[in-house]
Amino acid sequence: MRIGAPIRRLAALLAVASSTAIFLPPAAGAVTVGAPLNLPANVAEGCQGFVIFGTPPSCTVFGLDSRGAWSSQTPRGSWTITTARVRTGPSVGPMAFTVVRSLRSQAGSPPSGAICCSVPAESPVFVPAPNTVNEIPVSLPVTNTVEDIEGEPVEVVDYLGVSMLDLSSSLPLHRATSAADPAVSAGLSYFIPAMRRGQQALQAGGATELVPLVNGDYQPAPAAPPVTPPPAAPATAVPTAPAATAPAPFGLLPGVRLLPGGARARLGVDAPGPGLLRAFSPRARRARASAAAARRAGRGGKVRRKRRSPRLLIPAHRRVRQAGKAYITVKLSMAGKHRLRKRGKLRLRLRIAFKPDDGSVTRLSRVVTFHR
């Protein structure tokens, strides 16, 4: 039996404020985030229960209660999940706890909808025991904060979910059995196939009256140690010229975020200082005529030259004004959008170049997959 149809529920689920969640303190300094595990796992289907046609290889689930009784959402601040739990059904297979990250711009009134989703962290793969609550030690950094990205305030919120990595597991879900069942007010989001670390997806399915039987213990992330200034030099010391320090290297930040529509992507870099940042996709060179074609041309024949491949990406550039994180947005050209619509996805190798104001150009490459 099919569990639930994909519905337009994810945006509302991700937009719920963290104040709606209830957190129970299990130990000093920690909070428990997620669903109650005193409900039975009464869903016999595996990941294949989410679809009518085809067989999904894997899936990821997380959710919340619309009345605020529980939520998979991280509370405000920076945390580390030290223990994660899942209540299993009769069948088990390989699983992993998954941190699902959503972004939502705070600019404008009202703020825009959520951009979902990516996976910044996941636990090691494990096979739990059936028909019981499995407690797994983990170390998963999570956050719920607002970051400044290119001058735009963006809410960054993490959710704790679980991924079934093959079809041998019955889903760790509780389905409502009556009007008084706590699952009546529950909402579930799922991804097919499962999202793994470093991956991202633009859409998910949704279902109601289903509780993902997952929770975890959250400890506040340790604060950065204070910087101790070096001791002052003795009065009799002879001043020396400071040693020259090498500039910080130019590097790429992990992850690429696809923007709504699938034809734009935002990349991050770690800039060593002010300079010019560029991103483009190299075009194929014009093919040279063969020797035989040249001889035919000498006898009056025509030489057919291969056309240059169309430009699939519009080159982008921006001025970086200081050292640190910087972001640049690239978008497909008309030819690239046409190919994306035709194929459903488009994989391009991008060249990211940075020229500091007082140095030579550094070039790096990154492969970006655009999804329709």
DSSP 108-122: TTTTPPEEEEEEEEE
> 293 to each of 35, 57, 303, how far by Cα in Å?
71, 51, 6
CA distance 147 to 145: 7
197 and 53 assigned to the same domain? yes
Grouping H, G, I as helix, E, B as strand and the rest as coil, residue 44 is: coil
> 128 to each of 29, 97, 230, how far by Cα in Å?
27, 12, 51
212 and 271 assigned to the same domain? no
Q: Evaluate whether residue 198 is within a structural domain.
A: yes
Per-residue tokens: 246? 């090498």
Nearest to 98 by CA among 124, 136, 75, 74: 124
Per-residue tokens: 337? 């959008």
Specify the number of domains making up the chain. Answer: 2
Domain ranges, residue 257: 251-285+311-371
161 and 100 assigned to the same domain? yes
- Between vectors from CA 165 to CA 162 and to CA 169, what angle results, nearest 5°? 80
Q: Evaluate whether residue 333 is within a structural domain.
A: yes
Grouping H, G, I as helix, E, B as strand and the rest as coil, residue 3 is: coil
Strands 264-271, 210-212: pairing is: unpaired
42 and 171 assigned to the same domain? yes
What average pLDDT does the chain have? 81
pLDDT reading at 33 higher than 90: yes
Per-residue tokens: 186? 């529950």
* pTM of the complete model: 0.59
Q: Evaluate whether residue 255 is within a structural domain.
A: yes
Range from 202-211, 252-261, 298-307 carrying the lowest mean pLDDT? 298-307
pLDDT in tens, 310-369: 889 898 888 888 888 888 999 999 998 989 888 888 888 888 988 888 778 888 888 888
Q: What is the CATH number of the domain that holds 347?
A: 2.60.40.1940
pLDDT in tens, 131-168: 999 999 999 999 999 887 767 788 899 999 999 999 99
259 and 208 assigned to the same domain? no
264 and 345 assigned to the same domain? yes
Contact 34, 64 (CB under 8 A): no
CA distance 167 to 47: 6
pLDDT in tens, 241-279: 555 555 567 788 877 888 888 888 888 888 888 888 898
